[in-house]
Structure 1
Amino acid sequence: MSDHKAERRQRILLAAREVFAKEGFRNAEVKTIATLAGVGKATIYKHFDSKEDLLLSVVQADLQAIRDIALTHLVGAGHPLQRFENTCLAIANYLDHNRNFSKVLISEAGEFMPEIQRLHQEVVFANQAFADAFFDAMKSEGALPNIPNQILLNLLMNLTIGTVYSWTLNKEQDLRSEVEQLFDLWKKGTESK
């Protein structure tokens, strides 16, 4: 894909996220997205098969952005638990910034959840070796129990998804504060050992 096409596709994705967040998926019109992106409606359909495909592409871009945030913060020196906390806080900041889009996913995208889960599993699978190495480092530091990495990943993902779901529905709460509270509890639990 040429740089011009890639830049135009990125503009469309950003506009779609903004319009979906503001108007909801069902009420959003492709024409509105096109206007905001500075392209014609037909151009959107050159890049995306449908409004649903556009939504899933925004979700995929978000999953990739979250993966990039995670890799950036998990790699490096320092105690693994601190790196993990920094990662979770950075992801929380990203999600806080995109809260309205998260609300759209929770409230309107139920029919797309199987496809969203498939996209999520692709990202997880592609990064499994890295996750295993990181979990092993956390286990060696005593920050995680010595249970299989797949079980740990499932537990952490369930905690994360539940936390994000509750945060999305609670208008008063910011995700960063929630993550900070969870890590405070975790640190207290590992200190008492």
Structure 2
Amino acid sequence: MRTNALLLAVALAAGGSAYAQVYSQNIVGYVNRTVPNGKFVLISNPLNNGGNTVAEVVQVAGDMSLYTFGASGFVPSTALGGSWIEGESIVVAPGGGFFAQSGSGDVKVTFVGEVAVGKSVSIPKGTSLVSSALPQAGTLDALEYPVGDETVYQYSAATGYTPSLSLGGTWIDPVPTVAVGDGFFVVNDGAAKTWTRTFKIN
């Protein structure tokens, strides 16, 4: 899988009078991920785009299947011939994840939007499918993941699931490393917690 990320800091200023100015600041950009033909990949939406629905976030030109995960299990979204026919209103916001599979050859999916500055990710007790809310790659330690008592499961079509166990806040297995736009499962044996990232715009 190839991942390309371009982040552009944009500062827009509007002056209303000699006494006051209003400033707004956003970080916008895009991230490319490849969805393979006939194979599942576990990815995430790394950028805010409108309401973050499937139809807004994933633009398709052929056939594609997505599967999000929640309390009731997996929920499908299906596109045929470039149009979503079910599950198009499901929310796939930064901090979550989903399986994707193409039925029309290998497809490059381009996520476009704003960086979710200040967003936290809830890690409930039990099983959840999550991702970094910010479009950054690295080890989970470098990404400030609140390690406790849990097992992280990463997935690839070639090797299946790879587990990484932690006990008492210490990784027993090698620390998981994620790419921009990766999703992964967490089986949390401890109390519910929050993954909060520190990020500043200078």
TM-score tier, shorter chain, comes to under 0.3
Higher normalized helix content (fraction of residues): 1
TM-score of the pair, normalised by structure 2: 0.27
Higher normalized strand content (fraction of residues): 2
TM-score of the pair, normalised by structure 1: 0.28
